[in-house]
Amino acid sequence: MRPLVAMVIVACLSQALSQGCSPSGRGSEPNLPPAESPLFGDRPVPDPDQWIELKVRDKPQPFDVYLTWLAYDCQSGLDYDDAALFVWNGKAVGRGMKGFEEVLRRMSGLPHGARILVYPCLSTDFSSGTSFGLPFLCRDETMRIVVERKLRLIFSPFDHTGRIHPLLAPFWHFRWAEGEDCDAWVTWKNYDGLSDPEEAVYLWNGKEVGQGLQGFIQVLTHLDEIKPQSKVLICPYYVGPPKQKPERQVPFAKYDRLLDEVVYRRQLIVLQSSDENALIKKEFGESLGSRKTHTPVVFPGTPPAGAPEKNINLDLGGGATLALTLVPAGKFVMGTPPGEANRRKDETQHEVTISKPFYMGVYEVTRGQFAAFVNDTGWKTDAEQDGWAYSWDGNKPNPVNGAGWGNPGSAQTDMHPVVCVSWKDASAFCQWLSRKTGKAVRLPTEAEWEYACRAGTRTVYQWGDNPDDGKGWCNAADQTARRQFSDWTVFNWEDGFVFTAPVGQFRQNSWGLYDMHGNVSEWCADWCGDYPGGAVTDPTGPASGHDRVLRGGSWGDIPSVCRSGVRDGYNPGSSFNCSGFRVMVSLAGVHVP
């Protein structure tokens, strides 16, 4: 992050907080009640560093929910808060003050310490520290909730899929082509590039939706509601030699960044018409498939039409969500080579084919997410029914009376991975979420887990073969833990945590997954058993057994137990303060046991 950017934004926010004003400093807003008196009165404004993270030109950040908006950028003049259409986790929730109040309601339901990705961090020049422009950001209602619930606002040019904002990655590149069909189309009347854009009448699929700026905003709203990766024809868009008149352009072209933002975020394919006679003669009444158009805009990394989305978020209710990312199909060598240090005899190498892509939880299931399940179902975990759970001391598990997911024996927030849950508890969570979302949610098989953990690597760990190079990659038994557990064998670095760490604190692997090494051991679907002797496709493990598989190692595990290929397992009714789980979603249809 550039220091100048941080200084400018933090200074702006501090001033706005003390004055109770809007971020643009306009002083008056149409049809809006005045902001309340300053929240903090004569008291010092809380240090913005306690609740703001500025991630300018930084890498994508972990988050719990994301907030964006349409029809507002505070740069080109479209800067009235009541025009803003708020979008929460990809769903439009309201415009202006009503939308703002709905956002506040949802923020109030978030767990303490939750991270809100505020996107886009708008600026025409990030090096100059110009404004990012979140509508209503500095009203007291927002700050009260942020401070009281200890929320973290992450301002970033990266969207929820990890792609950088188009202002930092220009993407408009046209080439001539013939005859593209479209899923929706936009045009206008009463505007030729010389007239007042307020006279332009916008049409969406041939139907008038509004005039002037309000019509433009309605077009943005429709664009944000159509299916991702749809083809949208914008016509007329006249190019070529001028005919005694300027090149035709979209009315309100100075707001192109807003159109760009919607197109980019929804991964729409934009087609530009060059046939003005067709538009005039046909009066919008015939199919547009025969018209001459530009080649679709191609975004780097955009999957082909019909491909699954790269990232999905499941709604758990109460404002809680669960993020998953797509893991591609492929082949890998499961197990470890004979020469790997600390290799166990049950790690026989064999080729595995994962025949279909699947979604894997970006993070381990958190305590807050598990709480949503318990609150909705009244579920009693095995530890709660037994009255105790195991506590790991680095050498052996010890039963502790009263321990459970809500009282694991170490400090946790809703952003920490849930622990003291059995395989049965984890499976019940998956069945509940399947019913709630209509998705095929389950625990990953052991093969799917190792495939996702390795993410194309064949080394001992994600970072390589040397355990000493793992600083910043995982939370495991380390020098921090040794100060409390002096007899532990540990990694030769500090991760800053003795017990569990909030999810997403360490580096992600190349497929976007966090904490695949350490933090908590993760339950898998399989029974423990010997690997097959040859190549297999989509293995699911033995048909029966005594123990269920645990993978990945935990905060209390030595280097050899955190290897990508190491295997462990316990009775499916057992609960430990070092074990949890993550979920996956199958693309094949829903099956609820």
Q: Is the pLDDT of residue 448 over 50?
A: yes
Q: pTM surpassing 0.85?
A: no
Q: Is the pLDDT of residue 402 over 90?
A: yes
Based on the number of CB atoms within 10 Å of its own CB, is 155 exposed (0-12), middle (13-18) or buried (19 or more)? buried
Residue 344 and residue 564: Cα distance in Å, rounded?
A: 12
Return the domain boundaries, the chain. 3-155, 184-282, 315-585
Residues with Cβ within 8 Å of 286's Cβ and at least 6 positions away in sequence, in order, are none
The two tokens of residue 327 are: 């893991």
At residue 157, the pLDDT reads: 65
Quick one: fold of 315-585?
paralog of FGE (formylglycine-generating enzyme) (3.90.1580)
Kindly list the strands in the beta sheet with 521-527, ordered across the sheet, starting from the edge strand earlier in the chain.
568-570, 548-551, 521-527, 579-580
Tokens 């400093």 sit on residue: 25
At residue 417, the pLDDT reads: 96
Residue 159 and residue 87: Cα distance in Å, rounded?
A: 13
Tell me which of 197-211, 397-411, 575-589 is least confident. Answer: 197-211
More confident residue, 431 or 310: 431
Q: Is 265 left (phi over 0), alpha (psi -120 to 50) or beta?
A: alpha
At residue 123, the pLDDT reads: 37
Quickly state the pLDDT bin for 164 (edges 50, 70, 90): low
